[in-house]
Amino acid sequence: MSEAVLILGATSAIASATAAAFAARGAALYLASRDIGELARIAADLRIRYNVEVHHGLFDAEATESHEAFFQAVIEAMPNLSGVVLAFGYLGDQQAARDFNVGAKIIASNFTGAASILSHCANYFEPLKRGFIIGISSVAGDRGRQSNYVYGAAKGALSLYLQGLRNRLFASGVRVITVKPGFVDTAMTFGLPGLFLVASPQAVGERIVRTLEKSADVVYLPWFWRYIMLIIQHIPEPIFKRLKL
Amino acid sequence: MATLVKAISGWGRYPLQTCELERPERYADLLSDADSLIARGQGRSYGDAALNENRRVLLTERVNRLLEFDIEKGVLRAEAGATLAEILEVIVPKGWFLPVTPGTKFVSLGGCVAADVHGKNHHNDGSFGDHVIAIELILADGSRVACSASENAELFWATVGGMGLTGIIGEVKLKLIPIQSSHMMVQHHAAANLEQLFQLLQNPAMDDRYTVAWIDSLATGKNLGRGIAMCGHHAAVDELPAGFGNALATKPERSRTMPFDLPGWALNTLSIGAFNALFYRREGNKQQPFLTGYDPYFYPLDAIGHWNRLYGKRGFVQYQCVIPDGVAFDGIRALLQELSGSRRPSFLAVLKRFGAQGRGLLSFPMAGYTLALDLPIRDEGLFALLNKLDEIVLRHGGRVYLAKDARLSADSFRAMYPRYGEWLKIKNAVDPQNRFSSSLARRLQIGEGTL
C-alpha cells in the first residue's frame, strides 16, 4: 500500500501521534501547521524512527485565502496524496462567551478554516474517486454547555459539515470519518480538574488510523464516549439548562 | 502554562513530595516562568534529584524527538526527553549501540547527561559525558547555548553530572559505538570471597569490555563478599553460531509488571539468603561463554515493570558509593561487614571497577571500586546504618552517587565532592538567582549556603 497523508495541525499531541501511527505502516506524510520550527522536529523524528518520506509546510487555518495555494503545494510535493487528517483546533477560553473578538478566533480556526481547507481537499478527491478525509471534531460539539459553548458550537458545526461532506462524497467512494475524542492526555487538558478516563495520545492516534479498516462514519475515542455523550444528549433541556456543566 | 499539583517520588519511592508539574510539548516551551524549577525526564533517579517540593518540576517526557542520525558515522542528535529505549530501537538494527548505558533503558538522554551515568564499561570507556559531542543548554535567562568539550567547556563540564542545576538540557548529540550483532558474548566467574572477587576484577586476562560483579550481601565470615564476576562484550559476527540469521535483529522483550506492592516482610534475611545461595550456584556454574540478547544482559530488571514495588510501600534507598584505588578493598570490606552485621538484607549488591575520574565537576565516578546496595526502608534504623556507611566512605576518601541519594548531609557532600567550589563559580555565573534547584539541591545546600 502506498499511502500519502496530509496532517493539518500536525504539532498537537494527537496529531503527531496519528502521524506516527501512519508512518509506522509506511505512509508518506505532509505535516502542516503554523509552527515551522516544531514541524521540522517532528518531521525529522518520523523520518528517523520509521524511515518514511516526510514533508512539512506552513499552514494557517485562519488565513483562508492562502489555502488554495497551500493545497497545490501539497499536491506538488505528494502527487499520490491518498488522505487528509484535519487535526487543528483552538480551545480558547471562557472569555470567548463574553468577548466576541476571542470567540471569532475560535470560530475562524475550528470551523471557517476547516470548511475552507476541506473544500479544496474534497474537490481534489471527488473526481479521483478515491481518498479519505478524517476530521477531528470534539465531544464538546455534541451539546452546548456554558463552560465552552463557543468552541462547542464551532466543533458542532464542523461535525455537521463533515456529515454533509460524507453524504456528498459517498457516491465518489471518498471516505469521510468524523472523530470525536473525549479526554486525551494533552497540553489542552494537562492540570485540568475533573478529568476521568483520560486516554493517551498514542492510543488515540493508533485508533484514528485503524478507523480506515472499519466502516464506522462517526468514531468516539475511546469508544465509551459514545455512551457518555448519548446520555448527555438525552438529558431533557428543562433539566440540562439548570446544570453547571 | 497549566500546572498539575501532585505528590511524586523518584524510583526508590522515597521521599514522596508534592510538586507543581508542568509538561511542555514544544521545544520552544522548554522553559518555565517559575522562580524555582528542575527538569525531570523519566523520574528514574532514586531519591530527590528530580523533585522540587512545593515548587516547579518541568517534565521533559514529551520533548523527545530524534533529530539526526548519521548511520555512516554513528552520531545521534535528539531532544533530551528521548529515552535510551527509544534510541536503541532505532540504532541497533543499523549496527550501532549506546557508548555507555546504565542498568535501565527507561531513562532520558537529559538524565544521562545530568547524572553523568556510567555502565559496566566505565573502566574501559568512561562515563556518559565522555561520549557527548555537544548539548544545547537552556539557561535561566531563557537563552540557549551550545556546550561541548571545546565550546563553553566550563559550562559543559558543570552540566555533565550537574544534576540539572545549571539549566535545562534541551538537546544532546551523542557518539555511538559500532556493533556487529545485537547479542552479547558473556562469561561468568565465581569467587568464593571478597579477596578472590577483587583479584578477578583486577585481572586483565579475565576482563572484558563490560565487567560487573554480583555480591551475596548476606554471606559472612570467610564467605564475606563471595560473588560472581560477569564479563561480556558485543558478539562479533564470527562468534555467532552458523545459520544465526540477521545478526542485528532483535526480538521484542516480554515484559511483566509488578501489579502490587509486595508486603514489607516478604523480602527478609531468609528469603534473600535462599535466593542468593541459589543464584550463586546457578550463575556461578556458567563458566563457559554464552550468547544472550543485549536486553537481558544490560537491562535484566526492565523485564519487570515497576520492580520498585518489590520493596513495599515505604520504598527503598539505593546506596551507591565509590572507594578509590589503593584502599578500595579495605573500604568495601568494611562496608560489607557493617551491612552484614546489621542483618538488613540488601536484595541487590553490585560491585564494579571504575576507570579514571572524568571531567564532570560533580560527576560520581573516580578510579576505584563502586558498590551499590538496595535497602528497603523498614524503620528509621536504616538511616543510622547509612550514616555509618557514609563515615566509612569518607574515611576512605570515597563518595556517594547523587542520582541514587535521598539522605546524605550537606557536610558529607562537600567532603565527598572537592570540585564543588569550582562548580559553584560557574553555577553562580549562569544562574545567579539559583532558579534551577531541586529537593536534592536544597538538602545538600548545592547552589546556596557556604562552600
Residue A37 pLDDT: 97
Flag whether residue B144 sits within 8 Å of chain A, measured between CB atoms. Answer: no
For A185, name the nearest residue in chain B, comparing CA atoms only: B23
Residue A221 to residue A224: CA distance in whole angstroms: 7
Cα torsion B288, B353, B280, B403 to 10°: value is -130
Q: Give tens-digit pLDDT for B386-420.
A: 999 999 999 999 999 999 999 999 999 999 999 99
Task: Determine how many CB atoms are found less than 10 A away from the CB of residue B18.
Answer: 12
Cα–Cα separations (whole angstroms), residue A167 to A85, A177, A216, B155: 18, 11, 14, 62
Q: Does B242 touch chain A (CB under 8 A)?
A: no
Greater confidence (B346 vs A85) lies with A85
- The beta-carbon neighbor of B28 closest among A13, A37, A186 is A37
Average pLDDT of every residue of chain B: 93
Find the residue in A nearest to B28 (Cα): A38
Chain B: closest CA distance from residue A191 (Å): 4
Inter-chain contact B2–A192, Cβ cutoff 8 Å?
yes
Instruction: Convert the pLDDT of each residue in B155-193 to its tens digit.
Output: 999 999 999 999 999 999 999 999 999 999 999 999 999
Of the candidates B21, B62, B89, which has its C-beta nearest A13's C-beta?
B62
What is the least distance, in Å, from the CA of B442 to any CA of chain A?
26
Beta bridge partners of B134: B173
A-chain residue closest to B24, CA distance: A187
Percent of chain B with pLDDT over 90: 80
What are the chain A neighbours of B86 within 8 Å (beta carbons)?
Answer: 49
B89 interaction partners in chain A (CB closer than 8 Å): 49
Interface of A to B at Cβ within 8 Å reads 11-13, 35, 37-38, 41-42, 44-45, 48-49, 186-187, 190-192
Task: Output the pLDDT for position B424.
Answer: 97
Q: What is the mean pLDDT of residues B335-346?
A: 87
Which residues, at least 6 apart from B67, have a Cβ–Cβ distance to it below 8 Å? A41, A44, A45, A48, B77, B78, B79, B171
- B265 CB-near residues (< 8 Å, 6+ apart): none
Name residue, grid cell 551499590: B372
The 10s digit of each residue's pLDDT in B285-312 is 788 999 999 999 999 888 888 888 888 8
Q: Look at residue A218 and give its three-state secondary structure.
A: strand
- The reported pLDDT for the residue numbered B312 is 82
- B4 contacts A35? CB cut-off 8 A: no
Give per-residue pLDDT as tens, B49-65: 999 999 999 999 999 99
Which residues of chain A lie closer than 8 angstroms to B79, CB-CB? 41
CB contact under 8 A, B28 and A38: yes
Mean pLDDT over residues B266-274, rounded? Answer: 76
Q: Which residue on chain B is closest to A14 by alpha carbon?
A: B25
**Averaged pLDDT, B87-108:** 97
Give the total residue count for chain A: 245
The verdict on a CB contact (< 8 Å) between B2 and A44 is: no
Which among B2, B3, B68 has the least Cβ separation from residue A44?
B68
Structure-model confidence comparison of residues B25 and B314, the more confident one: B25
Among candidates B2, B25, B66 on the partner chain, residue whose Cβ is nearest the Cβ of A48 = B66
Which pTM value belongs to this model? 0.94
Q: Which domains are seen in chain B, by residue range? A: 66-179 (3.30.465.10), 183-412 (3.30.70.2520)
- What's the ipTM? 0.93
What pLDDT score does A14 carry?
A: 97
Residue B368 pLDDT exceeds 80: yes
Mutate to test the interface with B, among A190, A195, A198, A200 (most CBs of B within 10 A): A190
Joined grid coordinates for residue B227: 560473588
Residue B254: pLDDT band by 50, 70, 90 thresholds?
Answer: low
Q: What is the pLDDT of residues A114-148, one digit of tens each?
A: 999 999 999 999 999 999 999 999 999 999 998 88
Determine, for residues A37 and B90 on separate chains, whether the beta-carbon distance falls below 8 Å: no
Q: What are the average pLDDT values for consecutive 10-residue runs of chain A, which has 245 residues?
A: 91 97 98 97 98 98 98 97 96 78 92 98 98 96 91 96 98 97 91 86 96 95 92 92 87
Helix, strand, coil percent content, chain A, rounded in steps of 5:
50, 15, 35
> What is the C-alpha to C-alpha distance for residues B44 and B61, in angstroms, rounded to an integer?
12
Residue A186, min C-alpha distance to chain B (Å): 8
Residue B252 pLDDT exceeds 80? no
